[in-house]
Amino acid sequence: MLWATRLARAGLPVTLIMRNDARLQAYRAAQGVTLVEGEHSQLITLQAQTPDTDEPVQRLLVTCKAYDAEHAVAQIAGRLTPDAEVILLQNGLGSQQAVANLVPQARCIFASSTEGAFRQSDWNVVFAGRGQVWLGDTGEAPQWLEELERSGISAQWSPNILSLLWRKLALNCAINPLTVLHDCRNGGLLTHIDQVNALCAELGILLERCGQAEAAIDLPAQVSRVIQATANNFSSMHQDVTQGRRTEISYLLGYACAAAHNHQLTVPLLQALQQRLEHHLKLRGLPCN
């Protein structure tokens, strides 16, 4: 919603693809999406449809959770034009590759964002923190990058997007599960910093083994900086668990442990963390994947 409202406000054509007909009807009743920026709020009306609409899609922005991405794209796959671009904004790793395998004819662009937003209610999004978006694949930057800038989305092309995604994954593995297990805000981890640093050391070895040595540089220092900068926030995984939602564990810790296994690397701390987290989720009746 944060992207759609800003693109539409800049005069670019945007269509929302809703999960199903019930969501489409709910959206129509709201008459648009409200974007809240500080004191200012604006109702923006966007075209909307369901996946089964018979209309070609040239550029698809996928913004759902990592575990929903493959299914969401599968519903649209038949509508993609031969020169389609699919921009993937999922957390962690694994879902992007699954989508790329599903639509090999499309240009799949991976993205990572530090922008902050939350939904105040359905169809009402609060722009909580300005940030940066990195997009990339192995090719040249597309022309439309300029359209993002024009819409107020600060975007940068990164030919090495995988390195950024690995680094973000490592950071999330070092912070998010511990905030759940210690039931604390990110800043609460300052009292468990030895545990965080030990995880960073293991993650650094894993990154190097996976050919991502650059993503391992100064990892403990960066993790520490992020903990301090977001000390008052609850991590996304902590929020998922408190609100009884499925977490993205398979695309974070699960992905890291599987990568270690594929490289015959033992990661006892990450494995123990994954087991403790799975146990914690099971006790709360939440899925472990």
> Which of 154/230 has CB closer to ligand KPL?
230
Distances (CA, A) of 139 to 113, 159, 209: 20, 7, 25
CB of 127 to ligand KPL, least distance (A): 17
Catalytic hit among 168, 177, 186, 273: 168
Residues 222-241 binding ligand KPL (CB under 6 A) are 226, 230, 233, 235-236
Q: Do 110 and 166 form a contact (C-beta atoms < 8 A)?
A: no
Shortest distance (Å) from residue 233 CB to ligand KPL:
5
- Compose the 9-28 pattern: x for residues touching ligand KPL by CB under 6 A, - for all others: --------------------
Q: How far is CA 74 from CA 27, 44, 91, 174, in A?
A: 23, 28, 19, 32
Gap between the Cα atoms of 123 and 1, Å rounded = 8
Nearest to ligand KPL of 151, 236 (CB atom): 236
Q: What is the dihedral of CA 4, 249, 281, 116, to 10 degrees?
A: -30
Smallest gap from Cβ 11 to ligand KPL, in A, equals 32
Under the binding rule (CB under 6 A), the answer on residue 186 touching ligand KPL is: yes
Instruction: Report the residue number, 233 or 274, with the smaller CB distance to ligand KPL.
Output: 233
CB of 174 to ligand KPL, least distance (A): 9
* Cβ within 8 Å of residue 136, ≥6 positions away: 109, 110, 111, 157, 158, 159, 160, 161, 164
Total number of residues that touch ligand KPL (CB under 6 A)? 9
What's the chain's length in residues?
289
282 is catalytic: no
Task: Considering the complex, state which of residue 106 and residue 175 has its C-beta at the smaller distance from ligand KPL.
Answer: 175
Q: Classify 213 as helix, strand or coil.
A: helix
Nearer to ligand KPL, 45 or 228 (CB): 228
| Residue 194 parent element (H or E) | helix 193-209
Binding to ligand KPL (CB under 6 A): which residues in 162-181?
172, 175-176
Residue 182 CB partners (closer than 8 Å, separation 6+) = 188, 189, 192
CB of 162 to ligand KPL, least distance (A): 18
Coil, strand or helix at 170: helix
Residue 128: closest CA among 116, 136, 140: 116
**Residue 95 contacts ligand KPL per CB under 6 A:** no
The residues that touch ligand KPL, with contacts defined as CB under 6 A, are: 172, 175-176, 186, 226, 230, 233, 235-236
Active-site amino acid positions: 168
